[in-house]
Structure 1
Amino acid sequence: MGVLVAERYRLDEPLGRGAMGEVWRATDQALSRPVAVKLLRADDGDAASERLRMEARTAARLDHPHVVSMYDSGCHDGRFYLVMELVDGWSLAQELAVHGLLDPQEAGAIGAQMAAGLSAAHVQGVIHRDIKPGNIMLTTDRIVKITDFGIACFADDASHTLTATGKILGTSSYLAPERAVGRPAVPASDVYALGCVLYELLTGRPPFLGENTPAVVQQHASAAPVPPDHLRPEIPRSLADHLLLLLAKDPAQRPTAEQAAGWLAAVEAHSDQAPPSGTVSPGGPPVPTAPAHMLRPARSRPTGSRTPSKAVIGVAGAVAFAVAAVIGASVTSGDGDPSSPPPGSTAPSTSTPPSEAPLSGAPSATASPDLSSSAFDDDKDEEKEKPERQRKRGGEKGGKH
C-alpha cells in the first residue's frame, strides 16, 4: 500500500518532479476517486510554500470545465500539499513537440476553450500570469484544462507587481509588453499570452524569436509580429487578423477573454473575412477594431515589420535601454522540452517553475528592467510527466497531423 497523506490520499504513482516538489497520481480513499497530489519538498522554504498556498487560494475560486479543479490543501509531516483534479492527457507543449502544427480549425477551438477558462478566472478577479503551452493540459477528448496558478494574483491586489525579491514572474516567450517593464499584470496580459500560444499552435513557433531572452522581450515591447498567415498561408485570414488583435501592444486594444472566446468559437476554418469593426461577436461583446497598423488590404502584402503604435514607443525605449546593457545572455525563451515523453500520459497540473525578471528599481512605465539571461530561465527544472501508458494518437485523430 502506498504512502497515505492526511490519512486520506494514497500516493500510487509519481507523475512529475520539479523545482517545487513532486506530483503523484493518488486515490482519495474517502470518495474512492483518482486525484493528483502535489507535494512540496521537505526542504523547500517559505517562498515555495506561499506559492502553493496562492495556487490553492486562486484555483479554489474557480469552478469551470476549462480550469483544473482544486479539491483540497493542507500540511502533512511538515510538507504542504495540494489535491487536484487528475487530467487524463498531456500538455500543449508535448502536443507541439510530438505532433507539430495544429489544423487551424482545431487550433481555434483550443484557443476558444483557453479563452473561456481565462474569462472565468478574470470574472473572479484572478489573473494567471503564466499562460504558456506547458501550463495548458489537453485531455484525450481534446478538452482544454488551464493549470498551475502558482504565480497567479488577484486583480484587486495592488502589491502583486513585484515579488518580495523585486522580480517579475512569467515566461519570456509569452510575456505581455506592459509586464516586461514592471507594470502590474492585468487581465489583458493573459489575453496577450493566449495570443502567443495560439500563434505557436498555428505556426510552430512563438510570435518572436531571438538569439537571447532580452532580444525576445524587446520584440514583445516594440516589434510587430509577422502575420501568421504569411508563415502558413492556409491559416484563414479572419483567424490571422483576430490573432493580431490578441497581440496588440496596448492592453486597451486587445479583446477581453470573453470576447476572444466568443469569436474563436465561431471561426470557420475557410472564412476569409476580417473581424468586423464594432459588431457584436458571437457569444460576447463587440470585438475591438484592429489598430490601423494591423489591418491588411490583401494577403499578398509583403512580410515585414510594421510601425508600432505611439502608445508603445516609451515602453520600447525603456526595454531597448535595458537590453543594450545585457552581455552574454543565453537562449532561454523556449517553453516545451523536446525530451518530454510523448502525449499519452495521465497527468495532473504539473507546474513548470516560472521564469523571473528582476527589475532595477520600482516598477513604472519607464522602468528599465534587468533582462539578464538568468531572469528568464524558461527551461530550467522543467517537470517531466511520467506516462501511465503509451498511446498512438494517429488513429484517434484520423491522421490530422
Structure 2
Amino acid sequence: MNDDPQLAHCTARIGTVLRGKWRIDSLIGVGGMAAVYEATHRIGRRCAIKILHPEIAVSKELRARFEQEALAVNQLGHPAAVNVLDIDTSEDGSPFLVMELLDGDSLGKRARGSGGIEERELLRIVSTVLEVLDVAHGLGIVHRDIKPDNLFLTSSGGVKVLDFGIARMKQGGSNVHTRTGAVLGTTPYMSPEQITGGQIDGRTDVFAVGATMFRILTKRHVHEGSTESELLIKMATQHAPALRTVAPSVSPEVCAIVDRALAFDLSCRYPTARAMREDIERVLGAKATPHAPAPVSFRADASSPISVDGPTMVAPAPGQAMQAPMVVPVPPRSAATSPRASSNPPFLIIAVIGSLAVAVCLAAVFFVVRSRAPAEDARESADDETSQEDKASGSARTMATSSTTSTPSTPSTPSTPSTPSTPSTPSTPSTPSSTAAPPPTRRPASDSKYRLLIKDGKYPFCVTSKLKHAYPVRTNDEGVKVCSGTPDGPIPIDGLKAYHPSQLQWQ
C-alpha cells in the first residue's frame, strides 16, 4: 500500500468527532498499525487518541494485540508508562485508545538533534526505563519493542515508555497468537533469541535497552546490513562489537554496562532489568550492588578509591583526562623500613628470575595452543562441508532407488516456533500410507539457490544467494525440518549445503 493514500485517509479524520465526544484536532503521527491524533473531549480535556488502521482492524490477531496494550499498561500502573484512559471502537469499526497527551520529543528525535544526548543524561533516562521494565517483568509482561522512538522525553524532564502493543503477557493476553514466520519487533534492537524464535523473557528487553544505548552513544546500530535479510542474519548469528572499539570516548564503566546488556549468550547477559539498573545507579553515584564484570579497583590516595573495568580501558581522547591511574602509587620505603631488601638481595634476584621463567613457560604454552586452534577449526570446517555433501549425495541416491515416496511437508504450527536442527541429527520423513502414496515433496539439488545458514551447529535460516532473502527453518507435522515460507513451498533441509556467516555471498 502506498503511503499517500494512507496519509490522506488519516488526515481526513481531522475535524471529525468520535463517539460524539472526542473531536480530532490534528494528526501527530502515522505508524504501521495505527495513527495517533491530538483530540479534545467535549468537556475540554485534551488527550491523544491512537486509532488502528481499518485494514489492520480486520485481523482478529492484530485487534487483540492492539487492545492488550491497554491491559498491559493498566496492570503496570507505573507513572513512567503512558496512561491509557479509555478504549472504544470508532463508527467505521476501528478500535482506538484514549491516552494522556504528552508534550516533548522521543529519545530518537532528541538524539538526532544538534545537542544530542549526553552520557549521564542517557544513564538517567535508561534508569527510569529499566524501572518500568522491572515492574513489567515482575507481572510477566515483556515489552519486545524497546527502541529510541518508543521512549518519550517530556518537556518537564520526565520519561515515558510507549507502545506495549506487541508485549508478550503471561496472563490476560493468551488469546494473542503469532502467525508462522512473523517477526515482532524492530530488527536493529532485537535479541538473537527473539529473531530465531527462541525463548523470550526479560533479558530480551535488556538486550534492546543495550542496543538503544549503543545507538545513542555511537550514532550507529549494533549491526548494519544492506538488506533486511542480511541484518536479520547478522543480529541472529554475530556478537555485538565491544562499545569501546566503536566509541572510545565513552567511559569504561558505561562500556562495561552496554557490553553486558548486549551479550550474545543469555547466561552472560544481565539476568534482570533491576540488575542492570543497579549498575547504572552505581555509575550515577547511588549505592547499589554491582552486576557488571568485576572491576579493578585502584586507590589514588587514602580516601578516593576509583573503580575502572580493566578490559574496557582505552587511551584518553585528546583533551580528556584519564579516569583512573594505571599504576598504583607506592610510597618509597627507606632501608630502615625494608630490612628484607637490604639484608637478602640474593632472595629478590632468585624470585625475579623464577617469575620470568614461569612467564616464559606460560607464554610458550599459550602460543602452541593458539597455533593449533586454526588448524583444528579448518579441519572441523572441512569435515562439516564433506558431511553436508555426503548427506546431499546420499539423499539423492536414496530418492533415486526408493520405490516409495515421502509424505509432503507442511509448515509448522503457527503458535510454536521449532528449534533449529543440527547437522548430527537430520530429520527423517514419515512412512507413507499403504493405501495411497501422496505426491513427493519438492527437493532441490544441493547446488540450488537455497542454502542453510550454519551457526554453532544449528540452522536458524535458509538463505538465498547474496543474502537477498532469509526463510525460517520449521518442523512440519511429520517431524521433518523444512525451509518454510519459500516461493517454492516447504523444502526439506537435508539436501541443502551449509552456508557459513563469514561468507558474504556465493556464486
1:172 aligns with 2:184: no
Quote the offset at 1:24 in angstroms: 1.0
Q: Which amino acid aligns with 1:287?
A: H
Q: Partners of 1:182 and 1:263 in 2: how far apart?
A: 29
- Aligned to 1:22, what secondary structure does the other structure show? strand
Check 1:123–1:6 CA distance in 2 against 1; reply closer, same or farther (3 A cut): farther
Give 2:168's aligned residue: 153
Pick one of 48, 67, 73 that aligns with 2:87. 73
CA contact 1:36–1:86 (8 Å) conserved in 2? yes
1:49 aligns with 2:63: yes
Quote the offset at 1:17 in angstroms: 2.3
1:252-283 C-alpha deviation (Å, 9 max, x unpaired):
332211122232133249xxxxxxxxxxx845
- Aligned to 2:67, what secondary structure does the other structure show? helix
Q: Partners of 1:91 and 1:150 in 2: how far apart?
A: 17
Q: Partners of 1:158 and 1:39 in 2: how far apart?
A: 20
Q: Which amino acid aligns with 2:283?
A: V
Give 1:18's aligned residue: 31
- Aligned to 2:474, what secondary structure does the other structure show? coil
Instruction: After TM superposition, list the pairs within 5 Å mapping 1:109-258 onto structure 2.
Output: 109-155=124-170, 163-255=178-270, 256-258=272-274
Q: Partners of 2:176 and 2:65 in 1: how far apart?
A: 15
Quote the offset at 1:51 in angstroms: 2.5
Q: Partners of 1:101 and 1:75 in 2: how far apart?
A: 39
Q: Partners of 2:30 and 2:18 in 1: how far apart?
A: 17
Question: Whose relative contact order is higher, 1 or 2, with alpha carbons under 8 Å and at least 6 apart?
Answer: 1
CA contact 1:64–1:117 (8 Å) conserved in 2? yes
Bigger helix fraction:
2
Instruction: After TM superposition, list the pairs within 5 Å mapping 1:66-105 onto structure 2.
Output: 66-77=80-91, 78-99=93-114, 101-105=116-120
Quote the offset at 1:187 in angstroms: 0.9
Pick one of 447, 460, 464 that aligns with 1:325. 464
1:14-64 C-alpha deviation (Å, 9 max, x unpaired):
21223323211112335x432100112334312432221122222221221
Quote the offset at 1:321 in angstroms: 6.0
CA contact 1:263–1:282 (8 Å) conserved in 2? no
Check 1:174–1:108 CA distance in 2 against 1; reply closer, same or farther (3 A cut): same
Further displaced range: 207-216 or 130-139? 207-216
Quote the offset at 1:75 in angstroms: 1.3
Quote the offset at 1:183 in angstroms: 1.1
1:267 aligns with 2:267: no
Q: Which amino acid aligns with 1:93?
A: G
Check 1:174–1:250 CA distance in 2 against 1; reply closer, same or farther (3 A cut): same
Q: Which amino acid aligns with 2:129?
A: M
Q: Which runs of 5+ in 2 are unaligned?
A: 1-13, 295-308, 316-372, 374-421, 423-453, 487-507
CA contact 1:215–1:323 (8 Å) conserved in 2? no
CA contact 2:151–2:159 (8 Å) conserved in 1? yes
Q: Identity of aligned pairs, percent?
A: 27
Pick one of 47, 51, 73 that aligns with 1:39. 51
Further displaced range: 64-73 or 96-105? 96-105
Give 1:316's aligned residue: 455
Check 1:319–1:195 CA distance in 2 against 1; reply closer, same or farther (3 A cut): farther
- Aligned to 1:36, what secondary structure does the other structure show? strand
CA contact 2:203–2:269 (8 Å) conserved in 1? yes
Q: Which amino acid aligns with 1:361?
A: R
CA contact 2:71–2:172 (8 Å) conserved in 1? no
Instruction: After TM superposition, list the pairs within 5 Å mapping 1:252-401 onto structure 2.
Output: 252-255=267-270, 256-268=272-284, 282=287, 287=291, 289=293, 296-297=310-311, 299-300=313-314, 316-317=455-456, 322=461, 324-325=463-464, 327=466, 329=468, 359-361=472-474
Q: Which amino acid aligns with 2:461?
A: A
Q: Partners of 1:217 and 1:160 in 2: how far apart?
A: 28
CA contact 2:64–2:176 (8 Å) conserved in 1? no
CA contact 2:110–2:117 (8 Å) conserved in 1? no
Q: Partners of 1:179 and 1:236 in 2: how far apart?
A: 29
1:227-268 C-alpha deviation (Å, 9 max, x unpaired):
223322221101111111111122233221112223213324
Give 2:428's aligned residue: none
Q: Partners of 1:50 and 1:134 in 2: how far apart?
A: 23
- Aligned to 1:168, what secondary structure does the other structure show? coil
1:203-247 C-alpha deviation (Å, 9 max, x unpaired):
111222233333333333443323223322221101111111111
1:178-218 C-alpha deviation (Å, 9 max, x unpaired):
11211132111011000000111111112222333333333
1:106-139 C-alpha deviation (Å, 9 max, x unpaired):
1211211221121121122211111111211121
Q: Which amino acid aligns with 2:211?
A: C
Check 1:326–1:35 CA distance in 2 against 1; reply closer, same or farther (3 A cut): farther
Number of corresponding residues: 318
Give 1:9's aligned residue: 22
Q: Partners of 2:143 and 2:34 in 1: how far apart?
A: 20
Give 2:429's aligned residue: none
Q: Which amino acid aligns with 2:84?
A: M
CA contact 1:119–1:258 (8 Å) conserved in 2? yes
Q: Partners of 1:368 and 1:218 in 2: how far apart?
A: 18
CA contact 1:160–1:184 (8 Å) conserved in 2? no
- Aligned to 2:97, what secondary structure does the other structure show? strand
